Amino acid sequence: MLLAIGAFKLIKAMLLFALAFGLHRMLRNDAGEELKHWAHAVRIDPDSHYIHLLISKITGLDPRKLHELSIGTFCYGAVFLVEGTGLVLRKRWAEYLTIISTTGLLPLEVYEVVHHPHLRNLLLLVINVLIVAYLIVRLIRTRPLRPINAGSPQARQQTLDP
C-alpha cells in the first residue's frame, strides 16, 4: 500500500511539473495560441466551449500572475516528489511529511466539495482522507519500542531479575 501511495504522489508531482513548465512557457509565447496548440496535440477540439473558457481565464492573467502560478505549482510538485520518493523508499519521515501536508490541505478540499460539489472533488477528498488514516495507523503499528531509561524502576527491576 505504501508503494501505491508513493506512486500516486509521484504521478501527481509529474503532472504538476508539466503544468508548471507549461505555465512558464506561456510567459514567453502567446498563451491563447499555446493552449490551442496543446488542445490540438492531445486531440481535444480547440473550438470547444470549455477550451475557450480555459483560454479566456489564462489569457486574462497578467504575466506576473502566470509566473507566480508557475512557481507555486512547481513548489507543490516538488513536495509531492519528496513525499513520493520517500514513501517508495519506505522512509518513516516521508510518512510523517505526507500526513502533515495532506492533512493541511483537507480543509481546502472540504471547501471545494461544499461550494463546488463535483464527484471529482469528493473522490479526491475521500482518497486523501484514506491515505492519512492509513499512514497514521501504519505509524502507530510500526512505531519503534522506546529504550528503557537506565534510572527508571523498570530498568532496576530488570537488573535484579535473574
Question: What whole-number distance in Å separates Cα of residue 98 and Cα of residue 84?
Answer: 9
Does the predicted TM-score (pTM) go above 0.85? no
Bigger pLDDT: 108 or 49? 108
- The neighbour count for residue 111, using CB atoms within 10 Å, is 11
- Kindly tell me if the per-residue pLDDT of 36 is higher than 70: no
Over residues 32-41, mean pLDDT: 66
The torsion angles phi and psi of 62, rounded to 5 degrees, stand at -75, 160
Average pLDDT of the residues in 76-86: 95
pLDDT, tens digit, 9 for 90 and up, residues 151-160 = 565 555 555 4
Helix axes 63-88, 2-28, angle to 10 degrees: 160
Contacts of 85 (CB under 8 A, 6+ apart): 6, 10, 94
**Which three cell numbers, joined as nine digits, stand for 76?**
507543490
Nearest to 89 by CA among 27, 2, 147: 2
CA atoms of 53 and 11, how far apart (whole Å): 26
**Rounded distance, CA 136 to CA 158, Å?**
32
* Tens digit of each residue's pLDDT (9 = 90 or more) over 109-147: 999 999 988 898 899 899 999 999 999 999 999 887 666
C-alpha cell of 105?
A: 490541505
